[in-house]
Amino acid sequence: MAKRGTAGNGDKERGDQESGGKGKRPTRRRAGGSQKRTSRSTTFGEWAWEWGKSILIAGILFLVLRSFIVQTFVITSGSMENTLLVGDMLVVNRAAMGTRIPLTNIRIPGYSEPHRGDVLVFTPPPPDSVKMKLVKRLIGMPGDTLQMKGGVLYIDGKEQNEPYVRHTGGPDESYPWMVWQKKYLEPGVDPRTYSPTRDNWGPLIIPPGRYFMMGDNRDESLDSRYWGLVERWRFEGRAEFIYFSYHRDPYKAFPWLREIRWGRIGKGIH
C-alpha cells in the first residue's frame, strides 16, 4: 500500500510538473509578444524619424532654392506678347541679379549685372509695388537718353531695331501718371509745355542707379512710361526659359491638360 501511495505521489508530482510546464508556456509566449511589439514600435519610430528628417531637409533646400537661386513666374497679361504669352510659366534666375535675405534688408550680390534687352522680373515702384510683381524688358540704362517718336524708340538719338516689339494699333493716348517724366527731361525741353503720350515722349535722361522698363506689346503695356523708373534693388531675377505653357481658355475644362503648348516648353527667353 505504501508503494502504491508513493507511486501515486510520484504521478501527482509528474502531473504537477506537466501542469506547471503547460502554465509557463503561455507566460513565455506573452513575454515574446511584448518583445516583438517593442521591436515593431522601435522600428516605426526610427522610420518616422528618418522620414521627418528627410522632409525637413527637403523643405530647407526648397526654401534656399526658392529664395536665392530660382523662382517661378506665371504670365497673366499680354503686355509681353509675343515674346511671352498668357499661360507661360517661367523659370527665373534669382542668383544672377542677387537676392534679399527674407525678413532682413541684407542683399546677397548677384554674379552679373542687368543688361539692355534682359527680360526681368521685378517689383514696380508705387502705387503698383504693393500689388504685384511684373515682367518687362530692360530698355533704358543709367546715363541713356531715351525718346519715342511715333512709337519708334530712340536711344542717344539713334533709332532702335526691336524685332521683339508688337504693335496692336489703337489711338495714341496720354495718361496723368506720365507727369513724372518732367523731372528727367533733357536740358532745353520746357517742362511747362511738355505733354507726353504713349507713343511720343522724351527725351529723358536716365539717372544713375535707375532703369527704364517696357513691355514688348507696346500698345498694351503699363510700364516705365507711366509709373516711372526702377531702382536696381527691385530686380528679382532674369527670366531664363519657359518650363510649361498652356492656352488659358476659360470656356474649356482642364485647359492646363487639354490646351498645352508643347512647342513653347523649354523655349529660352530673349
- Residues 6+ positions from 210 with CB-CB distance below 8 Å: 142, 229, 230, 231
Q: Would residue 79 show up in a list of annotated catalytic residues for this protein?
A: yes
Tell me which of 41, 77, 79, 129 is the catalytic residue: 79
How far apart, in Å, do the first and last CA atoms of the chain sit? 116
Q: Which grid coordinates are listed for 179? A: 507727369
Task: Put residue 166 in one of left, alpha, beta given phi > 0 → left and psi -120 to 50 → alpha.
Answer: beta
Q: Which grid coordinates are listed for 119? A: 527680360
Tell me which of 131, 133, 136, 252 is the catalytic residue: 136
As a whole number of angstroms, the distance between CA 47 and CA 75 comes to: 42
As a whole number of angstroms, the distance between CA 93 and CA 87 comes to: 19
- Residues 6+ positions from 7 with CB-CB distance below 8 Å: none
Coil vs helix vs strand at 195: coil
Catalytic residues, which ones?
79, 136
